[in-house]
Amino acid sequence: MCDNHEHSKLTSNSKDLQQVEKQLDRRHFLKNASLGIGAMALGSLLNSEKMYAAMAGGKSKDQAILDAYNSSRSGFPNHLPKAKRIIYLFQSGGPSQMDLFDYKPKLTDMFGKELPKSVIGGQRLTGMSGSQSTLPVAPSKFSFKQYGECRAWVSEIMPYTAEVVDDLCFVKSMQTDQINHTPAITFMQTGHQLPGRPSIGSWLSYGLGSDNANLPTFITLVSKNGKGQPLKASLWGNGFLPTEHQGVQFRSGKDPVLYLSDPENYDGHDRRNMLDYLNHLNDLQNDAYGDPEIEARMTQYEMAFKMQTSVPEVTDISDEPDYIFDLYGKDSRDPGTYAANCLMARKLLEKGVKFVQLYHQGWDQHTNCPGGVKSQAQKTDQATAALIKDLKQRGMLEDTLVVWGGEFGRTVYSQGLLTPENYGRDHHPKAFTMWMAGAGVKPGFTLGETDDFSYNVVRDPVHVHDFHATLLHLMGVDHEKLTYKFQGRRFRLTDVHGHVVKDILS
Amino acid sequence: MEESNIILFLGRFHPLLVHLPIGFLLFAAVIEITERFKITKGLKNAVPFSLLLGTLSAVAASILGLMLATSGDYNHEALDNHKWAGIATTFIALFAYLLSLDLSIFKAIKQKLYLVIVTIMVVGLSVTGHMGGNLTHGEDYLTHYMPFKKQKEDPLKRPEVTDIAQVEYFADVVHPIIKAKCFSCHNASKMKGQLSFESIETYVKGGKHGSTIVPGDADSSEIMVRVNLEESDKLFMPPKGKTPLTDEEKGILQAWINQAKADYEVKVVDIKPNDETLALVSGYLKLDGHASGDMVHFNEVSRAQIVALQNEGFTIRELASGSYAYDVVLPSGEGSKENIKEKLDALSKIQDNILWLSLENSGLSDEGLKMISNFKNVQLLSIPKNDISDNGIKALSTLKALKSLNVYSTNVDYEGVSSLLALPELKKIYVWKTGLDQKEITLLEEKHSDLKIVSGI
Least confident of A311-325, B1-15, B91-105: B1-15
pLDDT band at B108 (very low <50, low <70, confident <90, very high): confident
Whether residues A300 and A161 share a domain: the answer is no
Average pLDDT over residues A102-118: 94
For residue A3, the model assigns a pLDDT of: 46
pLDDT band at A40 (very low <50, low <70, confident <90, very high): very low
A505 to chain B, minimum CA–CA distance in Å? Answer: 10
For residue B341, the model assigns a pLDDT of: 93
More confident residue, B56 or B152: B56
Whether residues A380 and A459 share a domain: the answer is yes
Alpha helix stretches (DSSP H) within B217-339 = 222-227, 247-258, 275-284, 303-311
Residue A159 has pLDDT above 70, yes or no: yes
Whether residues A354 and A282 share a domain: the answer is no
Partner-chain contact B315 A72, CB within 8 Å = no
B314 to chain A, minimum CA–CA distance in Å? Answer: 10
Q: How far apart are CA B40 and CA B32, in angstroms?
A: 10
The domain boundary, picked from A270, A287, A314, lies at A314
Q: Which of B21, B32, B51 is nearest to B128 (CA)?
A: B21
Whether A80 is in a domain gets the answer no
**Chain B residues with beta carbon closer than 8 angstroms to that of A63:** 307, 310-311
pLDDT band at A156 (very low <50, low <70, confident <90, very high): very high
Residue B200 has pLDDT above 90, yes or no: no
For residue A13, the model assigns a pLDDT of: 66
Whether A333 is in a domain gets the answer yes
**CB proximity B451 to A under 8 Å:** no
Q: How far apart are CA A213 and CA A204, in angstroms?
A: 16
Domains contained in chain A, number: 3
Q: What percent of chain A has pLDDT over 90?
A: 65
Whether residues A148 and A250 share a domain: the answer is yes
Whether A77 is in a domain gets the answer no
Residue B20 has pLDDT above 50, yes or no: yes
Residue A394 has pLDDT above 90, yes or no: yes
Q: How far apart are CA B389 and CA B393, in angstroms?
A: 6
**CB proximity B71 to A under 8 Å:** no
B321 to chain A, minimum CA–CA distance in Å? Answer: 5
Least confident of A4-8, A139-143, A225-229, B108-112: A4-8
Whether residues A61 and A203 share a domain: the answer is no
B261 to chain A, minimum CA–CA distance in Å? Answer: 23
Interface of A with B (CB under 8 A): 36, 39-40, 43, 57-60, 63, 72, 74-81, 84, 211-212, 323, 327, 350-352, 389-390, 392-395, 398-399, 476, 483, 485, 502, 505
Whether residues A354 and A369 share a domain: the answer is yes
More confident residue, A21 or A170: A170
Domain that includes residue A15, residue range? 2-70
**Chain A residues with beta carbon closer than 8 angstroms to that of B67:** none
Average pLDDT over residues B229-240: 83
| pLDDT tens digits, A367-391 | 999 999 999 999 999 999 999 999 9
Whether A470 is in a domain gets the answer yes
Q: Which amino acid is at A71?
A: S
Whether residues A296 and A185 share a domain: the answer is no
For residue A12, the model assigns a pLDDT of: 61
pLDDT band at B154 (very low <50, low <70, confident <90, very high): low
The domain boundary, picked from A314, A339, A356, lies at A314
pLDDT band at A26 (very low <50, low <70, confident <90, very high): low
For residue A44, the model assigns a pLDDT of: 41
Closest partner residue to A80 (CB to CB) among B292, B310, B332 is B292
Whether residues A221 and A364 share a domain: the answer is yes
Residue A363 has pLDDT above 90, yes or no: yes
Whether A390 is in a domain gets the answer yes
Partner-chain contact A392 B331, CB within 8 Å = no
For residue B26, the model assigns a pLDDT of: 94
Following CA atoms B327, B333, B337, B342 in sequence, which dihedral angle do they give, to the nearest 10 degrees? -40
Least confident of A200-204, A325-329, B112-116: B112-116
Whether A78 is in a domain gets the answer no
Whether residues A238 and A350 share a domain: the answer is yes
Partner-chain contact A77 B408, CB within 8 Å = no
Partner-chain contact A211 B382, CB within 8 Å = no
Phi, psi of B452 (to 5 degrees): -110, 125
**pTM of the full structure:** 0.70
Q: How far apart are CA A296 and CA A302, in angstroms?
A: 10
Closest partner residue to A352 (CB to CB) among B288, B315, B321 is B315
Residue B103 has pLDDT above 90, yes or no: no
CATH number of the domain within which A108 lies: 3.40.720
For B330-446, strand residue ranges (E) read 354-358, 380-382, 404-406, 428-430
Whether residues A16 and A53 share a domain: the answer is yes
Whether residues A345 and A456 share a domain: the answer is yes
For residue A46, the model assigns a pLDDT of: 41
Whether residues A14 and A138 share a domain: the answer is no
Whether A37 is in a domain gets the answer yes
The helix (run of H) or strand (run of E) holding residue A410 is strand A409-414
Whether A482 is in a domain gets the answer yes
Mutation choice for A interface testing from B5, B246, B317 by most A CBs within 10 A: B317
The domain boundary, picked from A46, A70, A94, lies at A70
Residue A45 has pLDDT above 60, yes or no: no
Residue A49 has pLDDT above 50, yes or no: no
Q: Which amino acid is at B230?
A: E
Give how far Cα B51 sits from Cα of B26, B58, B94, B98, Å.
9, 10, 8, 9
